[in-house]
Amino acid sequence: MAPFAKTGGLADVAGSLPAALGDLGVEVLVMMPRYRGLPSADIKISKKVRVRFIHHEAYFNRSALYGNPDGDYSDNLQRFSFFCHEILRQSEAMGFCPDIIHAHDWQTSLVPVLLKTEMPGRHFFKKTKTLLTIHNAAYQGIFSHRRYADLGLSNDLFHVDGLEFFGRINLLKGGILFADAISTVSPTYAKEIQTRNYGFWLEGVLKKRASDLRGILNGIDEKLWNPATDKRIKKKYSIKSLAGKAVCKADLQERLGLEKDADIPVFGMVTRLAEQKGLDLMAEIADEFLKKNIQFVLLGDGDRVYHTTFSNIGKRHPKKAAIHLGFNADEAHRIYAGSDFFLMPSSYEPCGLGQLISLRYGTLPIVRKTGGLADTIVDQDGNSTQGNGFVFEEQNARKFIGAIDRALTVFKNKKRLEALKKRGMAMDVSWQKSAAEYKKLFKELLKS
């Protein structure tokens, strides 16, 4: 949950959705592990929203959340099994009986399973309904069957209609089977994960539950991501005038050692360095891309192989590519503000926040048509009223370069460029709409 701990978009969602629900009158208690550096006492975010940090010195006081660049922590099953049991134990101890438990991803998928099966104090939660939101179907929490005892479940759940998955334990599968409802973070992704290419072998289980599965788009925190009030950028700006954005661009170029020239388009990328993000495609086109009169700024953290690939690209093109490896929230703001275009060639993208943040900062997204990118970005080509970016569908170098070239053509047409930037900035990408949809779903669940 941002700002307490973050590796990607889930933190943004957990940081924004509770407050937006609170504004709609929903009382929310968020529970998350007490990762290193987090306080022990509960934090009250607003009248309606409180956060509790679940403590376990050995499990959670570590340098990272899930693992290091060499791989996941080997005891992740024990860590998150403990967390799920604690969520229920502490709720009950507090006398806090929720109408809904909203579980996120495999880390909390055991909660719906426990509520439907093993929970000793189950009667306490007998009216509680569960919603599982899948933020990324590729991360399933798969573990050796030898760890099964650590889940605190009876053995009769380890079979193909339970948590068993090709001889191993799959926690997300358990959540999908036992939650009262399932959601994912965009309507297109909700459909995609029921197919072979996107379901990562859970497509069959998801299809089975298709009538209880829906897609609700994420929003962004408009207080955090707002060029008119953003203290981390060189000069604030708004839809009324983009003069400040030009200052941010010059500042970005100067600080990163790129030529300071307003007429050279800057392509930004802020991303986890994971295969999903289309980084192989990016690497494939890099040399051709960097031959053009452009500049490329990448901020990324994650898999070691991509650290190597992209630092090599940076070395081959020192004047045109600025490669910043690591996680840096301040730098992310400066890239969203200072870039002309934002690249997201993802092979799949459950929702994607980068393109929404870009829109808000008047930076035109270039995206592959998948998941939430398909639901939020419309190619400007031939769509004069709704276009807000550049979209390519087939996952290949020619199509990607094609989209970049269309962007370069628009870049030369200053009037059109500015109109598109302002259209993006005017879009409603806030949480209000999404939170209202979640509340509607909660109400349906309580009636069922």
Catalog residues that contact ligand ADP under the rule CB under 6 A. Answer: 8-9, 12, 270-272, 299-301, 327-329, 332, 351-354
Smallest gap from Cβ 50 to ligand ADP, in A, equals 24
Which lies closer to ligand ADP via its Cβ, residue 199 or residue 402? 199
Q: Which is nearer to ligand ADP, 159 or 231 (CB)?
A: 231
Q: How far is the CB of 138 from ligand ADP (least distance, A)?
A: 10
From the list 273, 263, 266, the residue with the least C-alpha distance to 299 is: 273
**Per-state percent for the chain, helix, strand, coil, to nearest 5:** 45, 20, 40
CA 323 – CA 299 distance, rounded (Å): 6
Closest distance of CB 296 from ligand ADP, Å: 15
Pull the structure tokens for residue 301: 């953290």
Min CB(144)–ligand ADP separation in Å: 26
Question: Distance between CA atoms of 368 and 6, rounded to whole angstroms?
Answer: 25
299 vs 410 by CB, closer to ligand ADP: 299
Cβ proximity to ligand ADP, 18 vs 162, nearer residue: 18
Token pair listed for 416: 């059109």
| Shortest distance (Å) from residue 354 CB to ligand ADP | 4
Nearest CB to ligand ADP, comparing residues 59 and 189: 189
Give the CA count within 13 Å in the CB-facing half-sphere of 363: 34
In the bound complex, what is the minimum distance in angstroms from residue 284's beta carbon to ligand ADP?
21
Q: Least distance in Å: CB of 446 to ligand ADP?
A: 29
Tell the smallest beta-carbon distance from residue 353 to ligand ADP (Å): 4
Nearer to ligand ADP, 6 or 122 (CB): 6
Least distance to ligand ADP, CB of residue 156, Å: 35
Q: Which is nearer to ligand ADP, 9 or 175 (CB)?
A: 9
Residue nearest to ligand ADP (CB): 9
Q: What is the DSSP string of 235-290?
A: S--BTTB-HHHHHHHHHHHHHTT----TTSPEEEEEEEE-GGG-HHHHHHHHHHHT
Shortest CB 40 distance to ligand ADP, Å: 27
Q: What is the DSSP string of 384-414?
A: TTT--BEEE-S-SHHHHHHHHHHHHHHHH-H
Q: How far apart are CA 229 and CA 366, in angstroms?
A: 25
Q: What gap in Å lies between CA 407 and CA 343, rounded to an integer?
A: 11
Query: Least distance (Å) from ligand ADP to the CB of residue 351?
Result: 6
Contacts of 390 (CB under 8 A, 6+ apart): 341, 364, 365, 366, 367, 377, 379, 380, 381, 403, 404, 406, 407
DSSP conformational letter for 85 = H
Count of residues in the chain: 448
Closer by beta carbon to ligand ADP, 138 or else 264: 138
Could you give the strand order of the β-sheet that contains 142-143, starting from the edge strand earlier in sequence?
142-143, 168-170, 164-165
Q: How many CA atoms lie within 13 A of 302 on its CB side?
A: 19
Distance CA 20, CA 350 (A): 21
4 vs 82, beta carbon nearer ligand ADP? 4
Give the span between the Cα atoms of 9 and 189, in whole angstroms: 15
91 or 184: CB nearest ligand ADP: 184
Integer Cα distance of 212 and 229 in angstroms: 40
Amino acid at 441: L
- Burial category of 81 from C-beta neighbours within 10 Å (exposed 0-12, middle 13-18, buried 19 and up): buried
Nearer to ligand ADP, 213 or 297 (CB): 297
